[in-house]
Amino acid sequence: MDAFNIFLCGTGGQGIVLAGRIIATVAFKSGFEVRESEIHGMSQRGGTVTGHVRFGPKVYSPTIPIGQADIMLALEELEALRYCHYLKSQGVIILNQRQVLPSSLSSEEDYPKDIEERLKKKGFRIYKIPGSEIAKSIGSAKIENTVLLGVLSCFLPFKQEIWQEVLQKAVPPKTIEINLKGFAEGVKIGREFLQS
């Protein structure tokens, strides 16, 4: 097995760095060599944040070469379009249905309305999730990225028990229960995607 590559993208405050660390820890506890890196934009302005997680029997570099990511976990739609060149042909995009207006656009009218269509034209397999709505229905908008990690877990070769163990140690103790609920809901959605 060559290195498996996961590219994460979103905006400041969405929890990209924490999500990357959770994935990397799960991969390590599953017996793989892991490399991870992240790049921060100006988060106070909703700037870009990206993360690279690579795992396999041997991984030499923490950054994913362009065109080599197997999966993209996109917490924001425009960021998925901005960084889709990192994906392999036929790569998977787990796309959160969330739009954060970047400082480079003056109004919501300028935000592209055809992002999903553009990504599909490039040949990517897209799985759309209304992460924010699901998180709010469970009880907290703050667990949006946990829901998305649950979806992602269905595409990776790690045991659910390891995900749950790592998640419980990564989040504040008072939020463990709700995060596990959000993760479980994401797993349910991910399994439905794979069966369809």
pLDDT digits (tens, 9 = 90+) for 120-170: 999 999 999 999 999 999 999 999 999 999 999 999 999 999 999 999 999
Residue 174 main-chain phi, psi, to 5 deg = -70, -15
Q: Return the beta strands (E) in the chain as ranges.
A: 4-11, 33-40, 48-56, 69-74, 87-96, 125-129
What does the pLDDT read at residue 41?
61
What does the pLDDT read at residue 44?
52
pLDDT digits (tens, 9 = 90+) for 82-133: 999 999 999 999 999 998 877 666 667 777 889 999 999 999 999 999 999 9
Residue of 21, 93, 92, 79 lying closest to 50 (CA atoms): 79
Residue of 24, 35, 19, 4 lying closest to 76 (CA atoms): 19
Instruction: Name the CA dihedral angle for 36, 55, 58, 60, rounded to a multiple of 10 degrees.
Output: -30
- What is the value of pTM for the model shown? 0.93
